């Protein structure tokens, strides 16, 4: 006897678009930019071990948590029901990109053009993300850093184990890294 189990699909990138519209096709890919941004965060954190990048990523994740809470409070439906479960207000994509403003204009346009959200939902998500990013920056740079929280983090055993650093006050990080690399190379030559 066969054991039949109920299964479901993992809809991580459920993107729909008008296949007859070339712009819709392009914007369907652009709307995936938050995934690229997450990959960039993780890659930067792993490669550079900079506390500033870690704090920015924590801020981004906290902003996403705030978005999930706001969706449950506001309970506004999406413009098209077939786009999946969950509420549409505020747009988590718009809020995410509001926090990470580099892709803002193009990304916000994709959410409306592809009919994923109404213009109001996108604007509210963007405004909330922008306000959150501003508040997070003020908290981290003008409250936590001046009271020594960054230094305490850098001096912690966990930060030392993972080589977490803060290069904020290093005028030219690449120059310093290059000089260190050059010294290591010269030491290798001296040993030979």
On the 0-12 / 13-18 / 19+ scale of CB atoms within 10 A, 73 is exposed
- Cβ(95)–Cβ(123) under 8 Å? no
**What are the tens digits of pLDDT across the range 16-42?**
888 899 888 888 888 888 888 899 999
Name the β-bridge partners of 50: 165
Nearest to 32 by CA among 12, 62, 53: 12
pTM above 0.85, yes or no: no
Any idea what DSSP says for residue 140? Answer: I
In this model, does residue 85 exceed pLDDT 70? no
End-to-end CA distance of the chain: 70
**pLDDT (0 to 100) of residue 148:** 93
Side-chain half-sphere of 176: how many Cα atoms within 13 Å?
A: 7
Two tokens at 24? 């819709």
Provide the percentage of residues in the chain whose pLDDT is more than 90: 31
Q: Domain ranges for the chain, please list them.
A: 22-191
Work out the pLDDT band at 90, boundaries 50, 70, 90: confident
For the chain, give percent helix, strand, coil, nearest 5: 70, 0, 30
In this model, does residue 71 exceed pLDDT 60? yes
Any idea what DSSP says for residue 38? Answer: H
- Cβ(130)–Cβ(99) under 8 Å? yes
Provide the percentage of residues in the chain whose pLDDT is more than 70: 83
The pLDDT mean for the chain works out to 84
**What are the tens digits of pLDDT across the range 173-182?**
889 989 998 8
């Amino acid at each position: 006897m066969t054991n039949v189990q109920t299964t479901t699909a993992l809809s991580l990138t459920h993107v729909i678009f008008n296949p007859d519209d070339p712009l819709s096709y392009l914007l369907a890919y652009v709307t995936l930019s938050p995934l690229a941004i997450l990959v960039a965060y993780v890659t930067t954190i792993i490669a550079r071990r900079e506390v500033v990048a870690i704090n920015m990523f924590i801020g981004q994740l906290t902003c996403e948590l705030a978005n999930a809470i706001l969706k449950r409070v506001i309970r506004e439906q999406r413009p098209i029901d077939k786009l999946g479960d969950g509420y549409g207000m505020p747009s988590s994509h718009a809020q995410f990109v509001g926090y990470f403003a580099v892709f803002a204009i193009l990304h916000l346009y994709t959410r409306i053009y592809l009919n994923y959200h109404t213009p109001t939902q996108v604007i509210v998500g963007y405004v909330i993300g922008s306000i959150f990013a501003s508040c997070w920056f003020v908290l981290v740079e003008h409250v936590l850093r001046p009271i020594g929280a960054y230094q305490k983090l850098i001096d912690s055993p966990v930060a030392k184990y993972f080589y977490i650093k803060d290069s904020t006050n290093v005028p030219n990080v690449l120059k310093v890294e290059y000089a260190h690399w050059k010294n290591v190379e010269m030491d290798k030559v001296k040993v030979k």
